[in-house]
Each structure stands twice: as C-alpha cells, then as structure tokens.
C-alpha cells in the first residue's frame, strides 16, 4: 500500500515540478491574441460590477466566461487597473509601460495556472474511482505533461477553464453510472452548470449526457434492472442533473438574478442548441409519454433491439472512428489528399461554403487531424490501441464502455461543430483533450497487461519510461506550448493554424532593440505584437492606414496568412501581402517548434 501511494506521490511531484518549471516563466513572457479582451475589460469589469452591486453588468461576454473572470480576478489586487493599458496597445509606450503590461498579465494568468494544478487531484480521484489506480496514473501523466493543456492553462481565456470543468463533469457522470452514488450525479450537475457559464459550447453536454443515460441501459444496466424500472429512474436522475446545472449557473452568474433570459441565453436557449433542441425535446417528450401512458410498450422493443445488437453497435462506433482515422493518416503520410485538411483548419468558420462531404467528412477529418497530431505519439498510439481492443472483446465491462462513451463524445462534438459550420481547431476542441487522454490511459493499461509486455516492463517502470519521453515533447516546443505538433507529423505540416500569438513577444522585443524603435511605425498581422512594441503599430487593412502612414517594418506569421490574404485581397496600397508572406530574407525570424513553415517574420519595409 505504501509503495503504491509513493508511486502516485512521485508522479504528482513530477507533474507539478515540470509544470512550474515550464509554466512560471511563460506567464510573463508571452503576448497572446484575444487575451486583451479579458484582461483589459471583461475580468476587471466583472469584479467591478460585483463590488458595486451592478449585477446586470456581470454579463461581460457572450461566452459568458464567468468562471474565468472569477479565477483570474484573484490577480487584480496586485496590479493597477489593467484597462489603463488598453489605449497603449497600438500607441507608443515607454519600456516601463511595456513591462507594466507584462506584470499585469503575470498576475492575471497566475491564478488560472495554479487552479489547473490544484484541480489535478480531482481528475485522479474520479478516474481512479472509475477505472482503477493504474489507469488513473497513466491519465494524469498524459494530462499533466500535455503541451496543449499546459499552454491553455497559461493564458487568460475561457478555454483555460472549459476543458477542466467539462471533463470533470463528464467523469463524474461516468462514476455515477458505475457506483450509483447520488453525490457524483450532483457533482456532475454542479460542474456542468459552471461549464455552461464558462463557454456556450458546453451546452452540448446536456444532449450528450441525456443519450448517455439511454446508452447506459443498452450497454450495461440491462443486466441488473428492468427497463420499466430503469427509464423512470433515468429521467429522474437526468432531471436532477439538469436542475443542479441550471441552479449552479444561476447562482454563480449574477446577471441572471435581474434578467432570467440571460440564463436561458447562456444555456438551453443558446444558439448552439438551435439545430438540435427540437429533436432533443421531442425524444424526451416521447419517452415521457411512453412511460406515463403506455408503460414502456413502445420503448421496450426498441431497447431490446439495440441490446440484442449491442456488440455490432459498439464495434460500429469504434469502426467509424477508425475509418476517419485512416482517412487522416492517408492525408498525412501519402499523396492521397481528397480534402486539404490544413486549408480547412485555416478557415475554421468557412465550411458552410463547401459541399456536403466537405462540410462533414472533410471537417470531421480536419478535427481529428488537429487532435491526433497535437498529442504525443505515445498518447496517440495508446488511444488507438484502446479502440482496437474493443474489437477483441466479446463481453464489454466498464473500461470498454467508458472508452465507447469517450469515442462517442469526440464524434458528437465534431458532428455538432460541423452542423454549426465550424471546424474545431486545437483551441476550439480543447474539451476533447482530457477525455482523449483517459482513452489513451485505458490503452496504456491494456498494453502493459499483455503477457509479453508485462514480462519485460513492470508497471512502475512504464511510468518511469513514459514521463521522460513526454518531457522531451515539452522541451522541444518550449515556450510555444499551444503550437505543439507531434514528432511523427511531417516537418512540412503544422497543426495549430489558428495560434494564440506564439512568437509575437520575440518579434516585438527584437524591434524594441532597434535604434529609434519608439519613433517607428509597424504593421502586424497580430495585435499581440503591438502590445509589446514600444512604437506605433497597426493591424488593419484599410487603404487609409497605408496612405497616411509609412511603415518601417511588417510582422507576418504563418497562422495569420490565410486571414491576411483574404482580408487584403493580396495587396493594400504599397503593402504587397503575397510578397511579404513569401519573403525569404527577413530582418528577424522566429521558427516555432522547429518547423520552418511555422514562422513569425519581421520584414523591413521597401519603397
């Protein structure tokens, strides 16, 4: 017992130590996109509104981002009003003002980072309760050493809270299915409530959780309880979950206290529900009618059919996932490229313009490409190993059922995004990562239990081998963690084509070292450069901007190329953007992750 506790403790210490080593310096030395909206406006506005009792004004964003504002706001007492810096973003500033902005970010990011570290034990506890200690250890290693999850925990953005809350809510529900412990159902609902006031996309869990209650009977619970007893209980439990979530959202979102429609807009009335709620409500209504008036006479043959064919159903779900995976690997490792997945990712909100197959098959393949190649090769191997393991089983226990639930979540998330005409880039699909790592942990446990592997590698040795290998990935991408691309991805490809500002600070600091930097005027495709540059800085594509201002330098980056060329049409005034993005001899260049095609270039203007 002592040995097992010591192993868990050592794993925890290694995760915390590496996170602090990689994370603390990055808190200050990074300039990101989107963060100014939260740091200069939304977070201080939320707490100012709470302080003054202006509850309506706590509705700070359509995300809504409430939990982020709560956690990040813990840093506000240590800095002057960050909104003082907003006017400085595109205007000349002194080195002291630049450093003050960096300090402000440090204190606003630090609480989010520490919250992430503090919540990891809850991940371990729930996964251990669900799947055992070995799987929990593997899962916490994959989560704790993920460059993407580390990167997202170091920025002030609602996604930094979203992946934590949605994953814990989902795992809590899984534990409830296993144990029937009411406290886990309440915990799931509580975390779901916090999730939906973090970011509207979490509303997909209302639908996903409902169907999980139905699938739980088909895949597992039918062995122990009759349908006529199960369905009323399941609907009652779902109602408890739903009510708890709504009550939590109401309690922690002050704007809902004065205008109840704000709560509806953030939850079941959100636009993300627009295409699914009629079907969702219809199914609940029909089930309720069948239970109340027909005594499950309609439901029983339907459920019996799926129970009879549950094995083919489970293998079909796994097969669909593997089929799309095969399509992705064809794209990456062969010349067979039916769709340009990277092009789809670079314009994540433009898939509605394509044909039906591009909108669904192409978009979902692009989503899976982003996931597969932004996790370590080992995590990907074990993830796929766990799915292949489903095909070897005749009887499905809790481990296999959990794997199927996670696969379904990923597919449903991607399908829902495609329906809403959005491709899920790395940040957009941050909800999938922790559950994908649980899936990988299931595969890792199954792998080390193979007789030949077990004879060669004891379980504790597997941890000792895995941790250094994952650390290598962190070292390879430091400090641009959100730009991580798998070591097995060809060097002429990248994953995160919608970055968060990687390389911006380095570019700005280079410009700041030049003589007369304070009097310079530059154009950048990222506002994050402007924030750290001491001179004047523009980011728009207006003819007036280039007519009235003579740029000294241009700053261009890979992940803004598609947007810039689209917004400019290739050229605005004297700025030839086609030529700028193709420039071969920049004055300064940041190569991200060792991939030459992923760059930030500083180019001296030529007239």
pLDDT, one tens digit per residue, over 352-397 is: 555 666 678 888 999 999 999 999 999 999 999 999 999 988 788 9
Q: Give CA torsion, residues 191, 194, 199, 205, to 10 deg.
A: 30
Cα 197 vs. chain centroid, distance in angstroms?
16
Among positive and negative, which fits the CA dihedral 558, 562, 566, 570? positive
Contact yes or no for 45/68 (Cβ under 8 A): no
Give the CA angle between residues 597, 600, 601 to the nearest 5°.
Answer: 105
Q: What is the CA radius of gyration of the chain?
A: 25
Model confidence at 266, pLDDT cuts 50, 70, 90, reads confident
Alpha helix ranges (H) inside 493-559: 504-512, 527-532, 543-548
Distance (Å, whole) CA 251 – CA 265: 15
CB 537 within 8 A of CB 504: no
SS3 591: strand
Q: What's the CA gap between 24 and 68, in Å, rounded?
A: 19
What is each CA distance from 230 to 207, 208, 478, 549, in whole angstroms? 19, 18, 51, 71
Three-state DSSP at 82 gives helix
Per-residue tokens: 194: 């916090």
Mean pLDDT, the chain, integer? 92
Q: What DSSP line would sit under 255-308, residue for residue?
A: HHHH-HHHHHHHTTTSGGGTTTHHHHHHHHHHHHHHHHHSTTTTHHHHHHHHHH
The more confident residue out of 268 and 585 is 585
Summarize the confidence of residues 515-525 as an average pLDDT: 95
For residue range 428-444, list pLDDT tens digits in order.
Answer: 999 999 999 999 999 99
Q: Percentage of the chain with pLDDT > 70?
A: 96
Please state the pTM of the whole predicted model. 0.95
pLDDT at 514: 97
Residue 31 exposure: Cα atoms within 13 Å on the Cβ side: 21
Mean pLDDT for the stretch of residues 245-273: 90
Determine the pLDDT at residue 448. Answer: 94
DSSP helix/strand/coil, 33: coil
| 602, pLDDT greater than 80 | yes
What is the average pLDDT across 548-570? 93
CB-based contact 402:442 (threshold 8 Å): yes
**Cβ–Cβ < 8 Å for 602, 523:** no
Q: What are the phi and psi torsion angles at 21 (to 5°)?
A: -65, -50
Give the residue, 512 or 276, on which the prediction is more confident: 512
Rounded to whole angstroms, how far apart are CA atoms 11 and 137?
8
Does residue 516 carry a pLDDT above 90? yes
């Amino acid at each position: 017992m002592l040995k097992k506790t010591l192993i868990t403790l050592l794993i925890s210490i290694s995760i915390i130590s590496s996170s602090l080593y990689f994370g603390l310096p990055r808190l200050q030395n990074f300039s990101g996109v989107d963060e100014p909206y939260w740091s200069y406006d939304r977070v201080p506005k939320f707490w100012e509104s709470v302080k003054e009792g202006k509850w309506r004004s706590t509705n700070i964003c359509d995300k809504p981002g409430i939990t982020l504002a709560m956690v990040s706001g813990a840093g506000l007492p240590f800095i002057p009003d960050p909104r003082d810096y907003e006017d400085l973003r595109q205007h000349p500033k002194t080195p002291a003002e630049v450093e003050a902005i960096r300090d402000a970010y440090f204190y606003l990011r630090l609480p989010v980072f520490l919250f992430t570290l503090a919540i990891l034990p809850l991940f371990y506890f729930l996964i251990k309760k669900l799947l055992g200690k070995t799987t929990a250890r593997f899962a916490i290693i994959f989560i704790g050493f993920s460059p993407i999850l580390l990167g997202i925990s170091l920025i002030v953005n609602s996604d930094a809270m979203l992946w934590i809350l949605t994953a814990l809510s989902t795992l809590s529900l899984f534990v409830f299915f296993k144990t029937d412990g009411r406290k886990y159902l309440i915990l799931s609902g509580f975390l779901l409530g916090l999730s939906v006031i973090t970011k509207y996309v979490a509303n997909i869990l209302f639908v996903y959780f409902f169907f999980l209650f139905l699938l739980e009977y088909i895949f597992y619970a039918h062995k122990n309880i009759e349908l006529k007893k199960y369905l009323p209980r399941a609907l009652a439990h779902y109602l408890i979950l739903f009510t708890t979530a709504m009550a939590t959202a109401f309690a922690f979102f002050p704007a809902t206290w004065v205008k109840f429609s704000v709560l509806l807009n953030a939850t079941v009335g959100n636009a993300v529900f627009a295409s699914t709620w009629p079907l969702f409500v219809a199914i609940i209504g029909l089930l309720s009618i069948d239970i109340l008036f027909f005594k499950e006479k309609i439901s029983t043959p339907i459920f019996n059919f799926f129970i009879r064919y549950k094995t083919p159903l489970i293998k079909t779900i796994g097969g669909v996932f593997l089929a799309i995976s095969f399509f992705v690997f064809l794209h990456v490792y062969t010349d067979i490229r039916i769709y340009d997945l990277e092009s789809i990712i670079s314009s994540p909100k433009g898939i509605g313009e394509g044909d039906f197959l591009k909108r669904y098959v192409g978009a979902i393949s692009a989503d899976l490409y982003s996931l597969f190649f932004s996790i370590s090769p080992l995590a990907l191997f074990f993830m796929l190993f766990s799915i292949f393991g489903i095909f070897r089983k005749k009887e499905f226990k809790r481990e296999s059922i959990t794997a199927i639930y996670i696969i379904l979540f990923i597919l449903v998330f991607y399908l829902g995004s495609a329906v809403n005409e959005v491709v899920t880039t790395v940040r957009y699909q941050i909800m999938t990562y922790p559950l994908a790592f649980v899936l990988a942990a299931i595969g890792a446990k199954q792998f080390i239990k193979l007789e030949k592997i077990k004879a060669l590698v004891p379980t504790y040795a597997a941890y000792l081998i895995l941790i250094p290998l994952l650390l290598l990935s962190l070292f390879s991408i430091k400090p641009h963690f959100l730009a991580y691309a798998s070591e097995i991805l060809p060097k002429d490809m990248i994953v995160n084509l919608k970055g968060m500002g990687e390389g911006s600070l380095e570019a700005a600091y280079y410009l700041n070292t030049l003589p007369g930097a304070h009097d310079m005027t530059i154009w950048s495709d990222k506002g994050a450069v402007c924030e750290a540059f001491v001179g004047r800085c523009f980011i728009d594509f207006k003819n007036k901007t280039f007519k009235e201002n003579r740029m000294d330098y241009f700053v261009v980056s890979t992940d803004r190329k598609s947007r810039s060329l689209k917004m400019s049409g290739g050229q605005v005034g004297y700025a030839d953007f086609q030529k700028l993005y193709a420039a071969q001899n920049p004055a300064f260049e940041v190569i991200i992750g060792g991939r030459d095609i992923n760059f930030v270039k500083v180019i001296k203007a030529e007239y």
